[in-house]
Structure 1
Amino acid sequence: MSRTFVVTGTDTDVGKTVFAAGLTAALGATYWKPVQAGTEAGGDSGALAALGVEPARILPEAYRLATPCSPDLAAEIDGVAIDPDRLVPPRVAGPLIVEGAGGALVPVTRDLLYADLFARWQHPVILVARTALGTINHSLLSIEALCARGVPIHGIAFIGDAVEHSEATIARIGGVRRLGRLPRLPVLDAPALAAAFAAGFDLGDFA
């Protein structure tokens, strides 16, 4: 059976898109971002293509908003009404990677958070977290928010230098599987990401 994984983060710019690119490329999966807010630099789809994901495996967003902020506000500024019924992961052949925006509690509309969407979908969520100072609090709060809504958590992936205490503490207290870690790469391109992902993660954990 093909798997669908939802990738979310503990915050903005934690490395969620880089992780999603690495996982999508490693699995030969299809990638979908329901809402892209901020298109001046091409959006996350362009970033994934540059990081080794075949363009044919990148699906168009349900909503593509110009303003770079939370989707609810971006939609209001752009004069767009987001219909949650359009935000349903598509059926594809093979694995599907769905990426949210920012953290799990970012609002999609005034009344709907990403975590609420994840609860509707019931696909396993991978939480991406920094290893930097403050990550224990941010990660455990995110885990609590997801668990409170009955969202299945597949595990947590870390980005940054190894910090054993923080990583182990989050996994133990949060009761989640520790999937692996991507270091910050001095040169971020498709070959470097593929090598780092292969070294940092076991693809059997995503079977």
Structure 2
Amino acid sequence: MARFVVTGTDTGIGKTMFSAALTSALQAHYWKPVQSGLADGADRDAVAQLAGVPASHCVPEAYRLTEPLSPHRAAELDGVHIDPARLAVPDHDPLVVEGAGGALVPVTRGTLYADIFAWWNLPVIVVARTGLGTINHSLLTIEALRARGVPIHGIAFVGDANEDNEATIAAIAKVRRLGRLPMLETVTPATLATAFAANFAPGDFA
């Protein structure tokens, strides 16, 4: 099965862009279980557009929350109780599942995304920046996932090339370096697909 969970080392680092590129490459279904910050639009709408897949390939979220905050807090402000049992992975293959923010973002006040990932037991792709600070953030993320027994498929970078940072993280963490998605001047389904094909090996996601 080609079913992957995409998490990040932080928020706003290009995780959704990578998820869209991977969804396109696999012609997969996409699911973001909890969407917060609806005023900025839902990530599944952006992924459907950028991945060039039918809207029916983007599975509805289990929870849609108003404020652009961590799910636990956004749910509280909306008066919503998040039940982790409702976050069972939908039965699609191939499938790309995107978390919110980083691996230790709280889904509830007692459950982190990394705990959910351990329950799912699907291979996780860590998306990281290439610039200053990424070594620390990446290694902490990988350690947190491994502490919970989460299977790590590899690390994917987003940003300008930084060979030493990328190689150092992969070597110290002993994770597969999947590739790097460069910053694009113009982001369209075509430019995103071309960039992904040029920088990632299809066999790494078989």
Q: TM-score, normalised by structure 2?
A: 0.98
Alignment of 1:1-207 (within 5 A): 2-51=1-50, 52-92=52-92, 94-207=93-206
- Alpha-carbon RMSD across the aligned residues, in angstroms, is 0.7
Aligned AA (2:46) = A
Could you report, residue by residue, the CA deviation over 1:38-67 in whole angstroms, capped at 9, with x for unpaired residues? 111221011112202321110000001111
2 CA distance for matches of 1:113 and 1:80?
A: 17
In 1, Cα distance between the equivalents of 2:40 and 2:121? Answer: 32
Letter of the structure 1 residue corresponding to residue 15 of structure 2: K
- After superposition, what is the alpha-carbon deviation per residue over 1:107-132, rounded to whole angstroms, capped at 9, x for unaligned? 00000000000011110000000001
Q: Which ranges of structure 1 fall in alignment gaps of 5 or more residues? A: none
Q: Greater shift after overlay, 175-184 or 51-60?
A: 51-60
Residue-by-residue CA offset, 1:142-198 (whole Å, 9 max, x unaligned): 000000010000000000111110000000000100000000101111111010000
**Residue type of the partner of 2:90?**
P
Instruction: Give the TM-score of the pair, scaled to structure 1.
Output: 0.97
CA contact (8 A) 1:21 1:53 kept: no
Deviations 1:2-60 (A, max 9, x none): 22100000000110000000000110100000000011122101111220232111000
Q: Secondary structure at the match of 1:5?
A: strand
**Aligned residue type for 1:105:** L
Distance in 2, matches of 1:86 and 1:103, equals 20
